[in-house]
Structure 1
């Protein structure tokens, strides 16, 4: 019996498929543009004052982070994409077939010429990017609104008069404004929110679409937990910052999954 071979689609088919995802593409671009803009050009409120004898903000400043910004972003996005690629292209025998063969994901109906696994993979990556973009905007928005000092704020600030009972931005001798601004962006933890958003999405995806035991996917929350612990150990965040960040990332990931990654229900065929 001859097997049907895959016919590569034409430009019109590819264009139509891309257009169907255009709203999600635009949302991804807009959310990441807003995140980058808030990260580079918006600064926390500088009108607050802090007690110089407050032990909560008197930790030492650790220049070398255990998990850097670049490493955190790699954990949140390239790593999940690599794992998704493995399951969809190399470990596809472990996929739950009656789930990935559905007709739509991300509220986009699968054209006849698009292989089911390719549609699942593409939609999953797009939704993952959107999850991280939304998470970044919300995280930075909360950081700027709350303006909470990091545990190492006084070490960043370098008060001109360390014996003064209160210190504000104008009493800081720190010459690197970036270090000082970052010292007022403690709540919630961005590392924790990005790790929870990316790895949380990946964990739910694996438990939903593969037949592998959930225990084998436990490395996702475990890695997220290690990132959270590193932020406290490095004096970058208070304990409640990392919990708030993880809760935010998990909530964004969960809501996005509910909205865009639910399978289209199969309509029963009624007898004639």
Structure 2
């Protein structure tokens, strides 16, 4: 048995060492989503009004959010590079696609962080009683605290306790601030149109955040946490992955970008 475990561990370690950052990221994300590892579960107070809101759906669905977060940056970066790109050794499209790929990896890191924290904390959503219908709530009285519970609505078994932090908020701010900074950095201008675009981006992210509270999908502290989590991940994405949008690359790096290898390391 020990030999078998050693072999499995060795084989797993070998595959991990041979996989790239994308494979590792998607694997970690998949393991979190399958919930094969036990997570946390915050209890509830009986008749807690903060958890008694009805479920009314989403003003901004996950599909719309992900479509915006994935597609909009690509469109914006292709347009901006076509207008402002000056390095003749690199095609505007190649430069835009490189930064876009790094941006997507930052989004993946954001998703991993958010979903991991949701799994660890296990915080009930504002519509907890409506969608989970814990059987323990049927007999509890007053403001008694229930440490452990079991949802009776199968469809919501893996969702009613994933309130903290807000993934919508984190992704919305991640995309909005990234694009606002990118446009400012590449245009090198403070024109009214650039400022207007930046305000639209940030306002859209704020609207998405507020909608999560008005829809009673998250508590206010979930939204604040989601926005706060996006900031260090944004810093890493912009400074480390995108090299602060610096175009001064070597001939070798320019060739790598042209070939799509992404081996872009600023010295």
TM-score for both structures, normalised by structure 1: 0.72
Q: Which of these residues, 119, 127, 138, is aligned with residue 162 of structure 1?
A: 138
Q: Which of these residues, 121, 124, 130, is aligned with residue 146 of structure 1?
A: 121
Q: Deviations over 1:159-204 (max 9, x none)?
A: 335341344654432232xx13211111110111111112221111
1:252 aligns with 2:213: no
- CA drift at 1:39: 2.4
1:80, 1:202 within 8 Å by CA — same for their partners in 2?
Answer: yes
- Structure 1: runs of 5+ lacking an equivalent: 1-24, 103-111, 268-272
- CA drift at 1:82: 1.4
Q: Name the residue aligned to 2:179.
A: 202
Q: How does 1:63-102 map to 2 (within 5 A)?
A: 64-89=57-82, 92=83, 95=84, 97=86, 101=87
Question: Which SS does the other structure have where 1:198 is aligned?
Answer: helix
Q: Deviations over 1:126-154 (max 9, x none)?
A: 11111101111111111111211111111
Q: Deviations over 1:81-134 (max 9, x none)?
A: 111122223xx1xx264xxx39xxxxxxxxx5x42x234212211111111011
Supply the distance in 2 between the matched residues of 1:87 and 1:47 (Cα, whole angstroms): 45
Larger displacement relative to structure 2 (209-218 or 142-151):
209-218
Question: Which SS does the other structure have where 1:197 is aligned?
Answer: helix
- CA drift at 1:45: 3.5
Question: Which SS does the other structure have where 1:77 is aligned?
Answer: helix
1:192 aligns with 2:186: no
CA distance change for structure 1 residues 47 and 123 in 2, over 3 Å: closer, same or farther? closer
- Structure 2: runs of 5+ lacking an equivalent: 1-18, 251-267
TM-score for both structures, normalised by structure 2: 0.73
1:43, 1:181 within 8 Å by CA — same for their partners in 2?
Answer: no
1:49, 1:168 within 8 Å by CA — same for their partners in 2?
Answer: yes
Q: Name the residue aligned to 1:18.
A: none
More helix by share: 2
Q: Name the residue aligned to 1:60.
A: 54
Question: Which SS does the other structure have where 1:182 is aligned?
Answer: coil
Supply the distance in 1 between the matched residues of 2:42 and 2:225 (Cα, whole angstroms): 22
The number of aligned residues is 222
- CA drift at 1:224: 0.6
Supply the distance in 2 between the matched residues of 1:47 and 1:137 (Cα, whole angstroms): 19
1:225 aligns with 2:206: yes
